[in-house]
Structure 1
Amino acid sequence: MPTPFIKLGPLFASALICAGAAHAQHAIAEITTASPQLAPSEVVMDWIEQIEKQGHRRPGYSADEWTEHWLRDRFNEFGLQDVQLDPIDVVRWEPQQWSLQVWHENDADHVLELASWPVPLSANAEALEGELLLSQGPGPHTAGKIAVVGLELLSWPQRRIRDTVATWAYDPAGEFDTLTQVLPMSVRFQKIMDPEIAAGAIGFIGILDFPWETDRYYNPYDAQSRSIPGLYLSHTNGERLKAFMAEAPTRARISLQRKQTSATSHNVTGSLPGRSDDWVVIGSHHDGPWNSAVEDASGTALVLAQAYYWSQLPREMRPHNMLFLLNGGHMSGGAGLLHMADSRKDFLQQRVVTEIHLEHAAREARAADGKLVPTDKPEVRWWFTSFIPRLEQSVARAICKENLERSLIMPVEGFPSPESKHPPTDAAFFHPLTPIVSFLTAPMYLFDPADRLNMVHEDSLLPLTRAVIDIVNDLDDVSAAAIREGIYAPPRAQQMQGCAAS
């Protein structure tokens, strides 16, 4: 077997050089001293940077097309088998020009123009005019008006999530007792404009009352066209608008030009043979709303780190066959995962031991003076895990072993609402077809252009990689059929034990 450094090839050598001579020398020494080796964190960070620096990685954009081919080349370089670019249909959305002007009905000469940004998937408009209505909730009064709606991000006390939602928690510092997490979604989730559309509004203005100053918010991304135009305002411009509206009845003019077309993206897949006839799938998505280092260049790099590690092992040391999946179209209604779930349904139902999905190695951020400031801490880690004791125990052991603090094992149903039948992650497309372990963090900046390289929690990359390896190895004696025999209907009969017992 070639040494790991030889297998890394020139791409990795250049990555290490880019990381700095001292770091590179240390990394090369580590890679060449033993086999198999994990990809060093500086190499994983370089993968993230290579993807992130291409630009906005929305479905159908050139940056995402570049990423697909680059990932295919990495899979081939690692020696994966049956490497494919599997085509999928996606919606390509590109804003081009937009503006918002407002004036008092009794003073049309005094026009206030406010900086804004289009609501994704909202309709084109050429100088649409209408009366503004500061909405306290949609109703008959909304019909025929341009609705002005305040949007706040959800805040969840982690003590409540730990005590009333999670199956298990690992929080050695006791932070969950006082920690409140701000999420990247409002109570409307992706139905940002839908209540006003249903009430007959002709336009929508969303004021982003977020902890930081922004009018860029890539939501919704469900590939569903909306029938009216919509614009986002920052908190400051939203306050200006509300003050202006308080002076006298106000009208607005919305102009919005965007291109929304069909395009082709790809799922990138590759495989490795293992000891058993069954499979483990490890995946993430390669597209993102902006440069998006966390969402999800980081998840993509974590999958690459798995592919690199397992490719160094002989077949008999891989517990199961392995499929590595980097899907496209996440920002187009999950198109790639829908395609995977539909086209390989029997495979997922009958031959997969578990699907492990990796999303967002994120830093926690705080808001200060209208800006986002990354901290040294990881964002709260959610591990959505199927209701299978063997699988839950494997995840808990891996979290304990790698000291992945701020971790919660979360249910695959009943969250974020009691009626939820799927987890709020990409793995929703695989549940209940196959057992899942879906790792996800949800930093508040996930859909904001502030998601750049400095938001990646680099110290998490190696522990997360080792944890996934631990989970796969821990399932070496269980078949796809046997693991399904352990499925239970919640609540769990016995409380899971803490790390000392694990």
Structure 2
Amino acid sequence: MALHLRRLLLQFLAFLLISLFFSIIPALLAAFGNTSSYAQALFNIWYGLLPPIALLLLAYLLYRKEPNWLAFLGRAWMAVGTWFLLQLVLESLTTVSPLLSLLSLPAKFAGGLLVRHPVGYVAYFSGWGLVSGIIVFLLGGLALYIFGYRLRSENGGRITNNGNTKPAFVVSTVLLVALLVAIPLSIYAISKPTTGNFVAGVAVPSEDEIYSHIEDVYGFGPRRPGSASYHEAAAELTAWFKCFASPVTVESTTFDYWEEKKWRLVMEPSGDKPTEVECFFWPYSGQTPPEGITAPLVYLGYGAEADFQAADITGKVVLISLAPINIGWNELKLFSYMAYDPENLAAGRSQPYPIGWILHLFNIYPRVEQAGAIGAVYILEDYPDMGPLTYYAPYDGKIRSVPSLYIREEDGEMFKNRLKEGPLEVNLVLDATIAKDGGEASNIYAILPGKTDRNFIISSHFDSPWPSGVEDSSGVGMVLALARYYAQIPLEERQRTMVFMLTGSHFVGEPSNDDFIERHKEGILSDNLFTLCIEHIADNWPYSDYVEARGVFFKENPVAISLYAGLVQHYGLYSTLLFPTVTPLGVPTDAGPLSREGFPVVSYISGPVYLFDAADTLDRVPRDQLVPLAKLYIDYIENLNRYPDFMLRFNINALARLLTTFVFSPLVIIGFVTRPRKQENDLWSL
């Protein structure tokens, strides 16, 4: 027994090192390879097949002297199981170190371990593929090894050499080689999209058509859920849908309504020279009386726990700095299947992530409330000057008790310098209307039937903080253009049902999305293959004249990702990154609630710094990107329609387990028992 334990331990350590080598390959390609290459993208997307099969074949070469096929298969499967175990360990430690996060790329590309909300909390466990790989191969292999050892007999389960086993051995070897050639060729054939799949007689949406839809939506003005302009927009969008996609369904959801009336910040209100400072409100933060509150101001740095412990802030207004979170192209591409930027226009680009400041807020605010502050002023560091300060965030729809305002960095410096001279009072005003369950949000959708009930949902959200050319007039304009295109195609030519949906509660925490899931999880969503969510067709202003980097988040089906990657290359959609749903970003889109409930999404989005600002005007929409993007989605949908449902639902780890178990394992067993061999002693090899 001790001998067997030593052999198994040596095998485990050896294959652990080999598995680590396989883990390093995607990280090296991400750092030093050509991330714009379609070939490299396919390698990343389908990489999950390589290590299990390679480890099985390596074990086949190393352990052919085992006394019977059960013991042999046990050792081969344990080699494969080592890979799944290492990936589970690396992925579970991904928050410990960026290096471990890179080494777990194969796990991320296959669906990862935990699906997270963009603010960080865990939505659900997604690592059952890794767990089942460990159970089947590592534990199952150990059981086979023990069973084979106990059952070994004189000829050990091998076919004796009295007959001619060479033909069977040759056939199994030829089949193995043929499979190793056929699999990559099949992957390429499956993954290569066709282009120009436009229906004769139906005009592809033009730039003017798409942009006119965007202009119309922009013309409604700010579309904050529950407001008069919001309800006007919802009614008009419903009418537009009815023009070409009747019947149209409108579903309502109630939420807590908050609307600002007045906000102001005055330094030294009782002094000889009171100074009013430019500010903007934190939506859904606490309410003051119309005259505001006057109290001492206390600076707490970046709001760390130690900063709060060092000061008494009960009954005072706190001043806290919010650092930006800069996200650069060079970092984002490391976690992508593909980072398409053939002319290196985005290389080296790094700028503030629009929700970065509020990610800090979510950590800091509970301390503010618990410490007894009666008001808060937050300094937006590195927030660009794009006009009046109008940063409308956060947008989770949660009413908080402490009234809070934002100020610019230069005004924050003024406050900090003044505090160095001595105590300072401020008057903070944030008067608002608050109505519990007083708001109503709408989801609007139209169904175009196809040959089957299996469906694609094409969606965006129509609510917005401002008129918002990008957020999300642009997404709505694209959905309307695609709906009009598909409505002109006869039912008998639509392969699958299409649902065109505009959600309306993005800026109050997406409760209507949650309601849609609850209402339709047994209906529309049970037949859904993908939700294709389109948001934020944006430029990179004020940093460059190019397109803002755009991410597309995928439920980890290799066919769907491969087809999209090929179309990105074909249509030249530069500055596009393709991500799994389990990156550190989560799925920061309107499709996030669906993704976090396990429904498959393909979600397009960008994050320009002006996203929540009134500076998001029509000028920010890159018109030259509209037609290529519309053509991409038409081609993408038609390419998806080439494949049966099961081809769009599988996960790469599941395919790896199936191929390893039911294709390669039988072939190596045949090779093991039929291999011509000289007289061998019955010692078990290492």
Decide which of 568, 573, 590 is 1:404's aligned counterpart. Answer: 573
Is the 8 Å Cα contact of residues 517 and 525 (structure 2) preserved in structure 1?
A: no
Q: Which moved more, 1:240-249 or 1:183-192?
A: 183-192
The answer on 1:172 being equivalent to 2:342 is: yes
Letter of the aligned partner of 1:414 in structure 2? Answer: T
* Within-5 A mapping of 1:47-58: 47-58=213-224
Letter of the aligned partner of 1:427 in structure 2? Answer: A
Report what 1:352 is aligned to: 528
Letter of the aligned partner of 1:193 in structure 2? Answer: Y
Give, in whole Å, the separation in 2 of the partners of 1:117 and 1:188.
14
Give, in whole Å, the separation in 1 of the partners of 2:522 and 2:469.
34
Report what 1:119 is aligned to: 282
Is the 8 Å Cα contact of residues 376 and 457 (structure 1) preserved in structure 2?
A: no
Shift of 1:247: 2.0
Please list the CA deviations of residues 3-27 of structure 1 after superposition, one character each: whole Å capped at 9, or x if unmatched.
xxxxxxxxxxxxxxxxxxxxxxxxx
Aligned in 2, Cα 1:457/1:275: closer, same or farther, shift over 3 Å? same
Report what 1:43 is aligned to: 209
Decide which of 376, 380, 390 is 2:559's aligned counterpart. Answer: 390
Is the 8 Å Cα contact of residues 351 and 480 (structure 1) preserved in structure 2?
A: no
Is the 8 Å Cα contact of residues 349 and 433 (structure 1) preserved in structure 2?
A: no
TM-score norm. by structure 1 comes to: 0.83
* Within-5 A mapping of 1:98-177: 98-103=263-268, 108-126=271-289, 127-136=292-301, 137-138=303-304, 139-140=308-309, 141=311, 143-144=313-314, 145-163=316-334, 165-177=335-347
SS at match of 1:277: strand
Please list the CA deviations of residues 408-445 of structure 1 after superposition, one character each: whole Å capped at 9, or x if unmatched.
001211322xxxxx411111111143211000010000
Shift of 1:383: 0.5
Decide which of 223, 228, 233 is 2:402's aligned counterpart. Answer: 228
Report what 2:227 is aligned to: 61
Report what 1:8 is aligned to: none
SS at match of 2:220: coil
Q: Which moved more, 1:47-56 or 1:185-194?
A: 185-194
Letter of the aligned partner of 1:61 in structure 2? Answer: S
Give, in whole Å, the separation in 2 of the partners of 1:228 and 1:489.
49
Please list the CA deviations of residues 95-135 of structure 1 after superposition, one character each: whole Å capped at 9, or x if unmatched.
1112222229xx84443222322111111113323221111
SS at match of 2:368: helix
Please list the CA deviations of residues 25-63 of structure 1 after superposition, one character each: whole Å capped at 9, or x if unmatched.
xxxxxxxx9621122211221211112122211001122
Report what 2:477 is aligned to: 301
Question: CA RMSD for the aligned pairs?
Answer: 2.4
Give, in whole Å, the separation in 2 of the partners of 1:252 and 1:95.
20
Report what 1:203 is aligned to: 375
Please list the CA deviations of residues 123-169 of structure 1 after superposition, one character each: whole Å capped at 9, or x if unmatched.
11133232211112242325313111222332112112112x11222
Shift of 1:216: 1.4
Decide which of 225, 230, 242 is 2:416's aligned counterpart. Answer: 242
Shift of 1:489: 8.1
The answer on 1:334 being equivalent to 2:499 is: no
Give, in whole Å, the separation in 1 of the partners of 2:559 and 2:524.
19
SS at match of 1:160: helix
Is the 8 Å Cα contact of residues 158 and 181 (structure 1) preserved in structure 2?
A: no
Give, in whole Å, the separation in 2 of the partners of 1:339 and 1:244.
49
Decide which of 486, 489, 494 is 1:310's aligned counterpart. Answer: 486
Report what 1:377 is aligned to: 546
Report what 2:651 is aligned to: 486
Give, in whole Å, the separation in 2 of the partners of 1:108 and 1:287.
43
Aligned in 2, Cα 1:396/1:93: closer, same or farther, shift over 3 Å? same
Aligned in 2, Cα 1:252/1:67: closer, same or farther, shift over 3 Å? same
Long gaps (5+) in structure 1: 1-32, 368-374, 417-421, 493-502
Percent identical pairs in the alignment equals 29
Please list the CA deviations of residues 280-325 of structure 1 after superposition, one character each: whole Å capped at 9, or x if unmatched.
0000000001111110011001100110111111123222100001
Shift of 1:187: 5.0
Shift of 1:480: 4.3
Aligned in 2, Cα 1:487/1:74: closer, same or farther, shift over 3 Å? farther
Give, in whole Å, the separation in 2 of the partners of 1:256 and 1:382.
36
Report what 1:94 is aligned to: 259
SS at match of 1:366: coil
Report what 2:25 is aligned to: none
Is the 8 Å Cα contact of residues 269 and 323 (structure 1) preserved in structure 2?
A: yes
SS at match of 1:414: coil
The answer on 1:76 being equivalent to 2:242 is: yes
The structure with the largest helix share of the pair is 2
Report what 1:254 is aligned to: 428
Aligned in 2, Cα 1:479/1:202: closer, same or farther, shift over 3 Å? farther
Report what 1:427 is aligned to: 591
Shift of 1:405: 0.6
Give, in whole Å, the separation in 2 of the partners of 1:71 and 1:466.
23
Aligned in 2, Cα 1:91/1:298: closer, same or farther, shift over 3 Å? farther
Give, in whole Å, the separation in 1 of the partners of 2:503 and 2:288.
33
The answer on 1:470 being equivalent to 2:635 is: yes
TM-score norm. by structure 2 comes to: 0.62
Give, in whole Å, the separation in 1 of the partners of 2:615 and 2:279.
17
Shift of 1:242: 2.4
Give, in whole Å, the separation in 2 of the partners of 1:232 and 1:430.
32
Give, in whole Å, the separation in 2 of the partners of 1:454 and 1:225.
33
Letter of the aligned partner of 2:499 in structure 1? Answer: L
Shift of 1:222: 0.5
Is the 8 Å Cα contact of residues 209 and 481 (structure 2) preserved in structure 1?
A: no
The structure with the largest strand share of the pair is 1
Long gaps (5+) in structure 2: 1-198, 658-686
Is the 8 Å Cα contact of residues 320 and 379 (structure 2) preserved in structure 1?
A: yes
Give, in whole Å, the separation in 2 of the partners of 1:490 and 1:197.
50
Report what 2:46 is aligned to: none
Is the 8 Å Cα contact of residues 378 and 406 (structure 2) preserved in structure 1?
A: yes
